[in-house]
Amino acid sequence: MQTVAATMILPSNYTKLKTKIRKGFSHMKADEWKSWVLVYSPMLLKPVLPSNMLNGWMHYVKACHILVKPSISFIEIDPAHRYLQEFCQSCEDTYEPKVLTCNMHLHLHLHDTIRDFGPVYGYWLFGFERYNGLLKNNKTNRKDGFEITYMTKFTSDAYKADYV
């Protein structure tokens, strides 16, 4: 799968996987998960999974195609909910109960959350996760506060082009 994934050309609004495809997928970022679910997995899992498992997974992929859009209409919420119901049902039919998590149940409440709060991009914290990674990588001298160190670096980076 890794070899095929390396040759895939992704649409411009998807992130190429930086993590190798293997058990666990540890340390993937939200945008990498989006790419895995919507672009990579339909192609890479087709020759690997039995048809009943692949069909169940594809219900999830179809739901995600609708749900991750920056704008979603009330009409689109219902098909997404049906796809999630079919995905959860296929998981219940295919897997042992111990692998089914509370997140599986929460999928079935997502349609109410979207009706109440709008598209998931409005309240999911993926953007903040990305900035947390950027902030975490800043080196501080532990003498000044983080804010001073960060703003000093930010202003020097912002005006680098003036020196050229």
- 120 phi-psi bin (left φ>0, alpha ψ -120 to 50, beta other): alpha
Q: pLDDT by residue for the chain (164 residues), tens digit each?
A: 888 888 888 888 888 887 777 766 667 777 888 888 999 999 999 999 999 999 999 999 999 999 988 888 999 999 999 999 999 999 989 888 887 777 778 888 888 988 888 888 776 655 555 556 666 666 666 666 667 777 777 787 777 777 76
145 and 118, same domain (yes or no): no
66 and 146, same domain (yes or no): no
37 and 111, same domain (yes or no): yes
User: Would residue 79 count as lying in a domain?
Assistant: yes
94 and 139, same domain (yes or no): no
48 and 118, same domain (yes or no): yes
90 and 35, same domain (yes or no): yes
154 and 77, same domain (yes or no): no
48 and 98, same domain (yes or no): yes
118 and 132, same domain (yes or no): no
Query: What pTM does this model have?
Result: 0.72
Domain range spanning residue 93?
A: 29-124
